[in-house]
Amino acid sequence: VLWGIHMSCPGFHHAPQHLRCRSLSGAGTLRWNDYDRPEEFNFASDVLDHWTQMEKEGKRSPNPALWWVNDQGDEVKWSFREMTDLTCRAANVLTQTCGLQTGDRLALILPRVPEWWLVCVGCIRTGIIFMPGTTQMKAKDILYRLQVSGAKAIVTTDTLAPEVESVAPECPSLKTKLLVSDHSREGWLDFRSLVKSASPDHICIKSKTLDPMAIFFTSGTTGFPKMAKHNHGFALRSYFPACRKLLQLKMSDVFWCLSDTGWILAALGSLLEPWTAGSTVFAHHLPQFDPKVIIETFFKYPITQCLAAPSVYRMILQQNYTSLRFPTLEHCCTGGEALLPEEQEQWKRQTGVLLCQAYGQSETGISCGTLRGMKIKPGSMGKAIPPFDIQIIDDKGNIQPPNTEGNIGIRIKPTRPIGLFMYYEDNPEKTAEVECGDFYNTGDRATIDEEGYFWFLGRSDDVINASGYRIGPAEVENALAEHPAVAESAVVSSPDPVRGEVVKAFIVLNPEFSSRDPGELTKELQQHVKSVTAPYKYPRKVEFVSELPKTITGKIKRSELRKKEFGQK
């Protein structure tokens, strides 16, 4: 049972002086501009507590800050006052009970439960670096993350607790395990009851804008995921006027971002963007994705804006509902993978609502987009959003003229813009690899037209983008290699009408498995991958081959296989 709508907040009425924040000068009035670089910024004290103050002064409507629902009819509505109170308590739990300090890392693997917001903001208040991860992760994924980051704490639920326990002995840095559950578990601290009994008095750290705030894991062509480290400037960027133009959120908006809590899109869409504008964050627990539930939710709740990956909109359109005219929906935004122009037009035709494209990565947040009110060019992901200066560059970092294919580059010299990741933690080689002249090379291919609109073309490397997930082929190949049937494999992207792209595995079998029924073996291998790594990575297509194309030095030519999938020469 979740905390009720009216969870009492003892002590709030005696809120200490520090909660009367020093931040925004008034509702809707901006304190910082697109190119400002304030010395200090903290999302909790500068933004969230500001709205708390507005609420107290009667300058904000009584809409909740967080409106959470699930499919069992439970509902949580927390005001900004309650958010301040509860996140201060969470901050005290993390520092006082768990002994965590500024700069320590905390792995945050929670589904869409209200505590996700408490932990995120609790970390921001204390300077603990939070590392969101998807609940689809398996023990091996968790082990890697805990080890490589040296995380001192993990917060998760009953479902993943056994996976964490199975790897915890191999993680010497891990001192604290926090459980979000209605039950207690040996060896775990009970987050809910600790928050209830914690003090709501907490003094937010005065974080420097360039101090680290969060780490997002991101997949590459080779090896394990890299740690893209972001500072508090990542949250400040949501505050900049240019960024606010993307959605033009107002206090009265009810904003629903459907991204899993493990991705940067959720940090932006379920936390930073809506709360910066004083809007309501809407969340549906959605343990299993079901487009019908999404549609019903749009009909049932007064959601005004939505942010989701293209696959989500695509799957809604494919439901063949008689009407998709949602009563309160005014605007939709999408990002994370490519969206076809006809899908964008179909959404407008069927819902009456515009669907605007944005583009970004775990390294960049939302970098460009079709801002609300801007001319839409179907199929384009819009224009660069300041302070990012985005250009199409060649492999040496030279700016390319309009309508010429190249890499999407974000200028980092002479000044690295606020909002761009700092570097890949503990990985100077990979950090250097993506620096190209004066630019950060995203590895995404695109063109820019004369009006500054970007047109996405694909990846420059072997990374797969399946329904908005960035998947490293080596991660899937390594999982397949653990199965006795697999002699070797090559994993590439393959087109798909629903998911845009899916993972396809070309597999050479060990001789003793060559007589097995291919259909059955495919299912077994898919199940195997789902059981050893996060299931979203599993190969939805499998082809058994007698050999893989290789260079003379024996390197598998994935690009050759990929081109074949996309019908290219």
Query: Which residues contribute to the site for ligand BCO (CB under 6 A)?
Result: 136, 259-260, 263-265, 289, 309, 311-312, 335-336, 360-362, 365-366, 467-469, 530, 535-536
Q: Is 556:490 a contact under the CB 8 Å cutoff?
A: yes
Which of residues 76 and 312 has its CB atom nearest to ligand BCO in the complex? Answer: 312
CB atoms within 10 A of CB 157: 16
Nearest approach, Cβ of residue 67 and ligand BCO (Å): 20
Residue 389 beta carbon to ligand BCO: minimum distance, rounded to whole angstroms:
18
- Whichever of 9 and 272 has its CB closer to ligand BCO, that residue is 272
Q: How many residues does the chain have?
A: 569
Between residues 102 and 460, which has the closer beta carbon with respect to ligand BCO?
A: 460
R_g (Cα) of the chain, nearest Å:
23
Which phi and psi (to 5°) does residue 53 adopt?
-65, -40
Q: What minimum distance in Å lies between the beta carbon of 295 and ligand BCO?
A: 14
Smaller CB separation from ligand BCO, 127 or 473: 473
Q: Which two tokens stand for residue 433?
A: 């690899």
HEC secondary structure over 199-241: CCCCCCCCCECCCEEEEEEECCCCCCCEEEEEECHHHHHCCCH
Give the residue closest to ligand BCO by C-beta. 360
Residues 128 and 278 sit within 8 Å (Cβ to Cβ): no
Q: Which residue, 229, 297, 216, 225, is CA-closest to 258?
A: 297
Q: Which is nearer to ligand BCO, 59 or 372 (CB)?
A: 372
Q: How far is the CB of 351 from ligand BCO (least distance, A)?
A: 18
Nearer to ligand BCO among residue 196 and residue 540 (C-beta): 540
Least distance between ligand BCO and beta carbon 287 (Å): 8
CB 209 within 8 A of CB 232: yes
- Minimum CB distance to ligand BCO smaller for 84 or for 261: 261
Shortest Å, Cβ 249 to ligand BCO: 16
Q: Are 48 and 117 in contact (CB under 8 A)?
A: no
DSSP assignments along 345-408, one per residue: HHHHHHHS-EEEEEEEETTTEEEEE--TTSPP-TT---EEPTT--EEEE-TT-PBPPTT--EEE
Provide the angle, in degrees to the nearest 10, between the axes of the packed helices 291-300 and 310-317. 90
Nearer to ligand BCO, 106 or 309 (CB): 309
According to DSSP, the residues that pair with 349 across neighbouring strands are none
Nearer to ligand BCO, 49 or 501 (CB): 501
Q: Which is nearer to ligand BCO, 530 or 541 (CB)?
A: 530
- Paired tokens of 295: 């549609």
Nearer to ligand BCO, 48 or 228 (CB): 228
Contact call for residues 313 and 337 (beta carbons, < 8 A): no
- What is the spatial distance between Cα 124 and Cα 209, in angstroms, rounded to a whole number? 12
Query: What is the smallest separation between the CB atom of 261 and ligand BCO, expressed in angstroms?
Result: 10
Shortest Å distance, C-beta 352 to ligand BCO: 23
SS (H, E, C) 503-518: EEEEEEECHHHCCCCH
> Shortest distance, CB of residue 292 to ligand BCO, whole angstroms?
13
Question: Least distance (Å) from ligand BCO to the CB of residue 442?
Answer: 11
The gap from C-alpha 549 to its chain's centroid, in whole angstroms, comes to 35
H-helix segments, 277-365: 291-300, 310-317, 341-351
CB 405, min distance to ligand BCO, A: 21
